[in-house]
């Protein structure tokens, strides 16, 4: 008789165990999304917080507005990915473009550099020493200015160390060209990286 009594007691406890298990698991007590909805009600999203994005480009002083280029979705053509991965594999060598106020600061720095180097270009002075002297007279530290022979002309690179980070260019008998950029994606500052992934 003790065995029958124990069996009945165990059978009687089975529904109680199932109910306890379901209660512990939370089954049947909440619908999907109830917790998230309750959290959102008790922790509303603050207003005035923006998500990070690329700063908007705007016309800089002395610059006329540029026409907007058509978006990739608006332009006809194939949407299939290219089979040549050269650009993808060498993306680490593409300088970081400047946007917003940094772009305007870069244009100002470029104009100062070109104005300082133009007299040298007109005289045909493409010596690295002459270029370094002209750029250090603008206030750039000697250790941050590089100049080198480049065929029949010369090249230069300035690590400004602030926005814009870098100004790079070339000069020859026909023109003085300069561009400002924000370094390189691999964190190599103004020097183009020598290797990628």
pLDDT digit of tens for each residue in the chain (197 aa)? 555 555 555 555 545 454 454 455 554 544 454 444 444 455 454 555 554 566 677 888 877 766 544 444 444 444 555 566 776 666 677 888 988 888 899 999 999 999 999 999 999 999 999 999 999 999 999 999 999 998 889 999 999 887 668 999 999 999 999 999 998 887 767 887 776 55
The Cα 179–Cα 125 span in angstroms is: 21
Contacts 24+ apart (CB under 8 A), 159-163: 159/189, 159/190, 160/109, 163/98, 163/101, 163/102, 163/105, 163/106
Torsion, Cα of 85, 86, 87, 92 (10° steps): 110
The Cα 149–Cα 126 span in angstroms is: 7
Q: How many CB atoms lie within 10 A of CB 86?
A: 8
């Amino acid at each position: 008789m003790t065995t029958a009594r124990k069996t009945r007691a165990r059978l009687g406890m089975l529904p109680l165990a199932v109910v306890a298990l379901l209660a512990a698991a939370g089954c049947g007590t909440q619908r999907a999304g109830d917790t998230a909805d309750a959290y959102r009600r008790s922790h509303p999203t603050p207003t005035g917080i923006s998500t990070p994005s690329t700063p908007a480009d705007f016309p800089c002083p002395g610059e006329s507005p540029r026409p907007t280029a058509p978006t990739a979705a608006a332009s006809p053509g194939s949407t299939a990915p290219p089979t040549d991965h050269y650009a993808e594999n060498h993306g680490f060598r593409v300088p970081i473009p400047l946007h917003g106020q940094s772009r305007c600061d870069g244009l100002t720095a470029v104009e100062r550099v070109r104005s300082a180097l133009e007299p040298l270009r007109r005289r045909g002075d493409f010596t690295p020493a002459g270029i370094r002297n002209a750029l250090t007279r603008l206030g750039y530290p000697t250790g941050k200015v590089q100049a080198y022979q480049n065929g029949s002309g010369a090249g230069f690179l300035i690590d400004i160390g602030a926005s814009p980070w870098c100004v790079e260019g070339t000069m020859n008998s026909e023109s003085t060209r300069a561009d400002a950029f924000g370094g390189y994606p691999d964190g190599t500052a103004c020097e183009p990286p020598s290797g990628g992934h």
